[in-house]
Structure 1
Amino acid sequence: MREREGARGEAGGKRRAREEFGGVRAVLVMKFRHIGDVLLTVPTLRALRENFPGARISVLVNAGTEAVLAGNPLIDEVLVYERSVKEKGPVGRLRGELGLLGELRRRRFDMAVDLTGGDRPALLGLLCGARYRLGADPRGGGFAGKRFLYTHLAPYAGAMTHTVLRDLSVVRSFGLSTADLSVSIHPSRADEEAVEGLLKEGGVAPDEPFVHVHPTSRWFFKCWTNKGMADIMDRLQRAGVRAVVTAAPDATELSMVRSIKEQMGTRPVDLSGRLSLRQLAGLSRRAVVFFGVDTAPMHMAAAAGTPVVALFGPSGAFDWGPWDGGKASELAASPGAAFTTPYGSRSGNQGFGPHRVVQKPWECVPCGREGCERSGRSECLEGLTADEVWPVLEERVEAALRRL
């Protein structure tokens, strides 16, 4: 097993990487996390594509997250792990796991890259037959001896490291680097046409500017107050900018949107529950600004190139803040200290490129918990007022409108 220490020059690192990883024709990348996590792997996928231009690159993800990689030219296929296999009893689960392993072995992978850190990808990397198995140092996590299943272990990236760069460090530690740190998402033409049809149905003209508002999350400890969201959307629309609101097709999220609308004095365009993930990205691309909470649609909007204003509570912007790939590439290329995150403070309002994070500068923030005392309610979010949020959003909207 090879452990990586220190950093190499990019050109020399790539040359040594080609020598070290000879004969790589098929690469498996594993990310068993959520939608936003999967999307933020794109710079790592680019590093692999640039270093192995002729290889077949497959990405294995949880069911329900695959859409954010659809149409991405950096990869050849997306494989899906059906988490429902865990509910089929011992025999059914074993059959499902062996079926997945068989699919992987038939592809004859030369390299397996674990961007998850759990036990499953460590085992799959070994059992699928990959000669080179890359991962991050588990630092004692997982089962005994897990670290010895890898052939190449990257050092711990550090607590104050953005998720994009944490993933990238797994391959960059061994010379597999890229200068382009952009994250991209690829809605199809059909997705964009569907969005235009729904906007037209809602009375939005083809050239009319609007703000995409996504107030919900599957984790409600990340959500702001319904009253606050209602107030902000009213202010937007009274300023002459339409609010287009979205939510997942989930009963609880849809109920939240209904409550927000009931507290509004104006009427937004409501597309809640009506868009696929790629259509959601198409909507964000069409918007002048995205406004919402720390959730996958926030990352999708940033990947679509739309300025983001995001409300953060228990999560840290330093590792989950909206990403600007162009600015990040510039910072990473600058001489000096290693670039680990564009958000240098643990909490409080911060910005990166066209994006802004609004967060209380409290000592307990970010706690990384599911609400205060794990109650499902986050006082740091509930304590935000519309008067604190509005100036940040207003400035971003005015800046975007000036560019039209």
Structure 2
Amino acid sequence: MRAPLNPALVKRILVIKLRHIGDVLLTVPVFRALKETFPAAHCTALVNAGTEEVLRGNPLVDDILVFDRSIKGASLLRRYLGEASFYRSVRDRGFDMTVDLTSGDRPALLSFLSGARYRLAADPRGAGFIGKKHLYTHLAPVDGRRHMVLQNLDVVRHCGITTEDLSVDFFIPEEAKRFVRGIFEEHGIRDSDTVVHIHPTSRWFFKCWKDESMAEVIGWLVNQGIKTVVTSSPAQKEIEKTERILSLVPLHALPGALSHLVVLCGRTTLKQLGALSAAADLFFGVDSAPMHMAAAVGTPVLALFGPSGVPNWGPWDEQAPHAYGRKSGVQKTERHTVLQSDRECVPCGRDGCNGSKKSDCLESITVPEVEEALREKIGGMPKQHARPTRPTRFDGPIPKSI
């Protein structure tokens, strides 16, 4: 490692995370560590367009720069000119430190061309272009077996930048809270009702459970009188997949069962989605950004995992940062539960089996297994997470724990 950081020289910090929504959300503890170490510093996040909302409103983040990924599809000349202009705009901001949490080639160049005195990153260990590691001043060894929250913190902890508060915060504006209040009033959801928020899709379908199985579980919930709110992202392919799931839902056991089902496919912003999870008693879904958001607002999560590593990507619980100690199978924290096949090949990190975009390990999870886990989560709901206290969530800060 190079010379130690001089705090007096660190006034403007750029944190780079050019990944997806959930990845960006899990960087929040890094901003907290930076603010605790450099309380007077101005902290800016650099993220991909479409991911910035998960940091919006967070007092730990002073500013957000957005990188337009659509430039990747432009002609070579236009792409070169566009990226050069963006790099210049970053340099003009006069950052003293960059923290690269992306580990890609573009962030490495951005860090170097920013002109920052201190440039922190995880040791690339030979990944990327030749000489990439020389673009940084401080490289940290990162334990890839740990949760991404901890891996992100490893990058700065190596330089003495730490925090004891490992919580991931997702801030919800009043407008989003009003939206959810209106939805609940419109559908007659009362304080005494149990509400389950289901987000059945991911942007990557190899992370999705079988449509028929998801539909059966939704039907099982609503036929028991449980208020079930189903959402999807605004992406057309996810809306269509969710609509297909809903078309398969069996609604026959309980008269008026349809009244317990609320469908909001493609109708919510990220902030509204987070507000909905905060107002629910339980979030049920797959490995996705909404799963991470639900965990961030303190709502218990039941998640189905396929090829992804739960120790790296499981729903975060700051009270149990090392809880996911097995590589696969059923894993729990006090707050969250993850169901995953215990096949030897899990986790493989691939986009489906043999390039099929379908994950046999995920599809092997059975409906009875999921129903039993749901029964356990709903039946064991802590008193302080019961509906009578829910209105306070809309009048004050979102709770960090339950």
TM-score, with length taken from structure 1? 0.90
Are 2:254 and 1:263 equivalent residues in the alignment? no
**For residue 304 of structure 1, what is the aligned residue in structure 2?**
297
CA RMSD, 1 decimal: 1.5
**For residue 31 of structure 1, what is the aligned residue in structure 2?**
17
Partner amino acid for 2:235? D
Residues 59-100 of structure 1: per-residue CA shift (max 9 Å, x gap): 000001000000001010111000111222122212221221
Partner amino acid for 1:131? R
**For residue 209 of structure 1, what is the aligned residue in structure 2?**
194
**For residue 88 of structure 1, what is the aligned residue in structure 2?**
74
- 1:57 aligns with one of 35, 43, 49: 43
Are 2:355 and 1:374 equivalent residues in the alignment? yes
Shift of 1:38: 0.2
**For residue 126 of structure 1, what is the aligned residue in structure 2?**
112
Question: Are the aligned partners of 1:294 and 1:310 in contact in 2 as well (CA < 8 Å)?
Answer: yes
- In the alignment, the residues of structure 1 paired with residue 242 and residue 81 of structure 2 have an alpha-carbon distance, to the nearest angstrom, of 41
- In the alignment, the residues of structure 2 paired with residue 37 and residue 207 of structure 1 have an alpha-carbon distance, to the nearest angstrom, of 35
Question: Are the aligned partners of 2:22 and 2:292 in contact in 1 as well (CA < 8 Å)?
Answer: yes
Are 2:267 and 1:281 equivalent residues in the alignment? no
- 1:192 aligns with one of 146, 168, 177: 177
Are 2:315 and 1:322 equivalent residues in the alignment? yes
Q: Secondary structure at the match of 2:324?
A: coil
Residues 97-146 of structure 1: per-residue CA shift (max 9 Å, x gap): 12212221221100000000011111111111100000011010111111
**For residue 364 of structure 2, what is the aligned residue in structure 1?**
383
**For residue 152 of structure 1, what is the aligned residue in structure 2?**
138
Question: Are the aligned partners of 2:324 and 2:332 in contact in 1 as well (CA < 8 Å)?
Answer: yes
Partner amino acid for 2:233? A
Are 2:230 and 1:229 equivalent residues in the alignment? no
Shift of 1:20: 3.6
- After superposition, residues 165-180 of structure 1 pair within 5 angstroms as 165-180=150-165
Question: Are the aligned partners of 1:214 and 1:247 in contact in 2 as well (CA < 8 Å)?
Answer: yes
- In the alignment, the residues of structure 2 paired with residue 354 and residue 133 of structure 1 have an alpha-carbon distance, to the nearest angstrom, of 36
Shift of 1:324: 1.0
Shift of 1:249: 1.4
- In the alignment, the residues of structure 2 paired with residue 401 and residue 229 of structure 1 have an alpha-carbon distance, to the nearest angstrom, of 26
**For residue 341 of structure 2, what is the aligned residue in structure 1?**
360
Shift of 1:239: 2.6
Name the % identity: 51
- In the alignment, the residues of structure 2 paired with residue 90 and residue 114 of structure 1 have an alpha-carbon distance, to the nearest angstrom, of 26
Partner amino acid for 2:284? F
- In the alignment, the residues of structure 1 paired with residue 149 and residue 382 of structure 2 have an alpha-carbon distance, to the nearest angstrom, of 29
Question: Are the aligned partners of 2:146 and 2:311 in contact in 1 as well (CA < 8 Å)?
Answer: yes
Partner amino acid for 1:378? S
- In the alignment, the residues of structure 2 paired with residue 116 and residue 386 of structure 1 have an alpha-carbon distance, to the nearest angstrom, of 37
- 1:345 aligns with one of 314, 318, 326: 326
Q: Secondary structure at the match of 1:158?
A: coil
Question: Are the aligned partners of 1:289 and 1:309 in contact in 2 as well (CA < 8 Å)?
Answer: yes
Residues 217-238 of structure 1: per-residue CA shift (max 9 Å, x gap): 1100000011111111122223
**For residue 374 of structure 2, what is the aligned residue in structure 1?**
393
Question: Are the aligned partners of 1:359 and 1:380 in contact in 2 as well (CA < 8 Å)?
Answer: yes
Shift of 1:206: 5.6
- In the alignment, the residues of structure 1 paired with residue 332 and residue 374 of structure 2 have an alpha-carbon distance, to the nearest angstrom, of 12
Question: Are the aligned partners of 2:144 and 2:151 in contact in 1 as well (CA < 8 Å)?
Answer: no
Q: Secondary structure at the match of 1:130?
A: coil
Q: Give ranges in structure 1 of 5+ residues lacking alignment.
A: 4-16, 329-340
Shift of 1:158: 2.5
- In the alignment, the residues of structure 2 paired with residue 236 and residue 401 of structure 1 have an alpha-carbon distance, to the nearest angstrom, of 19
**For residue 2 of structure 2, what is the aligned residue in structure 1?**
2
Residues 33-78 of structure 1: per-residue CA shift (max 9 Å, x gap): 0000000001111101110111110000000100000000101011
Question: Are the aligned partners of 2:21 and 2:289 in contact in 1 as well (CA < 8 Å)?
Answer: yes
TM-score, with length taken from structure 2? 0.91
Partner amino acid for 1:186? F
- In the alignment, the residues of structure 1 paired with residue 236 and residue 313 of structure 2 have an alpha-carbon distance, to the nearest angstrom, of 26
Question: Are the aligned partners of 1:313 and 1:360 in contact in 2 as well (CA < 8 Å)?
Answer: yes
- In the alignment, the residues of structure 1 paired with residue 100 and residue 334 of structure 2 have an alpha-carbon distance, to the nearest angstrom, of 30
Shift of 1:401: 6.4
Residues 150-194 of structure 1: per-residue CA shift (max 9 Å, x gap): 110001x23311110011100001100000000010110111101
- In the alignment, the residues of structure 1 paired with residue 72 and residue 191 of structure 2 have an alpha-carbon distance, to the nearest angstrom, of 46
Q: Give ranges in structure 2 of 5+ residues lacking alignment.
A: 252-257, 387-402
